[in-house]
Amino acid sequence: MYFITSNEGKFREVKELAANYDIEVEWLKMEYIEPQGSSLEEIAKLSAEMLTEKVDGGFVIEDSGLFVEALKGFPGPYSSYVFKTIGNEGILKLMKGVENRKAYFEAVVAYFDGKDVHVFTGTVSGEIAREMRGEGGFGYDPIFLYNGRTFAEMDTEEKNRVSHRRRAFEKFFMWLKEKD
């Protein structure tokens, strides 16, 4: 199955997750323009529909984001842009002196089977750390605390046990298996 993403970290995690279901995922490294939308679900769906025009056959994509409660859900659907601009330092700055550190990651998988687009969602709740910690993972992992450690302090296997990506892809893979 082709997984279209420009993000190597995502691909690495999904490859491992898929292996548990005996599914082989191939990386179609490609950057595509994300349409605007108010939710990740809407964006993932629209992106998949747009990509059906460009890619032959079935494929899967995933859109994800970090939602910080004290920032009213920011960066949410803008996570990619915010990461490229202000990054983790910027989020930590916005959160300086803020007591409510609650945040969650969401991942939305959109699968095109050659005919229709199917969507699967997963979330994981945690907190925004007070400083960056850890060398692993990617993106916001160094500032996302789960049970006292950041995602960047975990290896792929450990993050994959609890992550938003795991939860979304698990739903998708189970659905695929049941369908066969």
Among 48, 51, 60, 63, binds ligand ITT (CB under 6 A): 63
Among 39, 52, 80, 123, binds ligand ITT (CB under 6 A): 80
56 in catalytic set: no
Among 17, 48, 67, 79, binds ligand ITT (CB under 6 A): 79
CB of 70 to ligand ITT, least distance (A): 18
Q: If binding is defined by CB under 6 A, does position 65 make contact with ligand ITT?
A: yes
Q: If binding is defined by CB under 6 A, does position 141 make contact with ligand ITT?
A: yes
Residue number, nearest CB to ligand ITT? 139
> SS3 for the chain, per residue?
CEEEECCHHHHHHHHHHHHCCCCCCEEEECCCCCCCCCCHHHHHHHHHHHHCCCCCCCEEEEEEEEEEHHHCCCEHHHHHHHHHHCHHHHHHHHCCCCCCCEEEEEEEEEEECCCCEEEEEEEEEEEECCCCCCCCCCCCHHHEEECCEEHHHCCHHHHHHHCHHHHHHHHHHHHHHHHC
